[in-house]
Chain A
Amino acid sequence: MKKFLEDLRHELEKRKVDSKTIDEIIADHEEMIENAVEEGVSEEDLESKFGNPEQLAEEIFEDQACEGESEDERDKKLVLWQEFNPESNEIDIETSIVNDDIEIILADTDKIQVYWIKNHHQENYILTYDGKTLTLSDKRKNFRFYISNIRRNIKFRIVLPEGTMINDFNHHGTNSDVVCRNLKIDQFKINTTNGDFMIDNVTAGKTDWHSVNGDFKTRKSNFDSLVANMVSGDISMENTTVKNDLEIGTVSGDVNIRNSQARELDYHTVSGDFSGRNFMVDEVSLRSVSGDISIHNDDKRPIAIIKKKTVSGDISIN
């Protein structure tokens, strides 16, 4: 098996994998081969168990290629995929994506433009605009395991003309991270498993977010009302205004709010904690097992505690 290790090293070097990673991969293989020998696997069987070093190196290399890539490097690979002439300044957006990241922004353009990073699975994506709805979806969503090879994720950038009003924005995703920047949205719905969201300078009406493990971040944004249901994902808000109710439910996810305001906060959690710093809110409700609410404001305007139902959690306002 010495030859296997030598060949593997050689194939990895050929593909310019960095030496630290190569050492690590070789060490892993030395260990696994040794374990196999300890279990009495014969030299012959070893070869069939460990297979072809070239194929292995190629596989690892493909993973490696996207792993260390910075966001900027990735953005440089974005190329125009399709563009449409908008029929009005109102639009609905439906995205249904498994692994790929999406960025939605406004720019000084009179067309709706969709950019992407090309890969060899592009035939699997559908993009349509019927004058009312822009739909971006992954054909393969019904059997995700088929494409669950994480490295295959690509990125989409949807560019809308300035002044565009998004009436309905509906996102369904699994691992897909989403960035929304400078948008006006009326109905804003997100449903994700692991995807993280960055909401930057967005004005939205009724907003409804569901996430299992994904995190939500908002900055400089305004919402009429916001309902967020999370399992272990965290929420952080900065310079954000929720005109009416802010309702957050988590199991173990934490909430961190800074320099923001809401009319009423309704927080229900098992063990997540809520921390507010300069968070101006009129009324607060807590339902928790052990989760706390703690708010610390420079402006000492009173905050009314409407409801507090908790086993060992507490509300502290100062």
Chain B
Amino acid sequence: MNAQFKRGIVELCVLSQLVQKDMYGYEIISDLARSIDVNENTIYPILRRLTAEGYFDTYLVESSEGAPRKYYKMTERGFHYYLSLREEWDAFIGGVYHIINQGGKKNEEIFRRFASRIGKKES
């Protein structure tokens, strides 16, 4: 997948997590990695960038298990950014689905149409 395309999507994923609760770095990474193929390399720079932009604040919390954890907290500015990004995403992905569904929604249906178009008998 195009690296920049992926980075944009991951950014929206990071924002979507922080909109729910404050999280520490590794927590964000391991949560996202459960659903999509990303590693720290992609996520950490996004966290830094969004923090530098004023979309997140950070604070430290002592942990009983070891090192204090740096938590990321979404700011109001970040929230507005999240909303606008999400809106764009919905519009874009809605458009994509519209296009890919034009050929049919189910594989059998798509195959039937395609097969008849290239003159191949259904097996």
Contact = CB atoms under 8 A, between A and B. Distances in A.
Contacts of B4: 146-147, 149
A307 interface: no
B48 A32 contact: no
Given A60-B48, A142-B91, A149-B8, A36 B81 contact: no
A35 B67 CA distance: 8
A150 B49 contact: yes
Contact of A145 (B26, B53, B92): B92
A231 B80 contact: yes
Contact of B88 (A51, A144, A194, A231): A144
A52 B84 contact: no
B31 to A, nearest CB: 12
A112 B57 CA distance: 42
B84 A151 contact: no
Interface string A138-154: 00001111111111000
A51 B76 CA distance: 32
B33 interface: yes
Given A150-B53, A231-B80, A31 B45 contact: no
A59 B4 CA distance: 11
B69 A31 contact: yes
Interface string B12-38: 100000000000111101100100000
B57 to A, nearest CB: 15
Contact of A194 (B27, B48, B77): B77
Nearest to A231: B80
A232 interface: yes
Interface of B: 4-5, 7-9, 11-12, 24-27, 29-30, 33, 39-42, 44-45, 48-50, 52-53, 65-70, 76-77, 80-81, 84-85, 88-89, 91-92, 95
Contact of A148 (B8, B77, B91): B8
A32 B39 CA distance: 12
A76 to B, nearest CB: 22
Nearest to B60: A31
A29 B85 CA distance: 28
Contacts of A48: 39
A116 B30 CA distance: 40
Contacts of A126: none
B66 A34 contact: yes
Contacts of B40: 29, 32, 49-51, 56
Given A34-B67, A67-B52, A145 B9 contact: yes
Interface centre among A30, A36, A38, A194 (most CB of B within 10 A): A194
Contact of A55 (B12, B41, B81, B89): B41
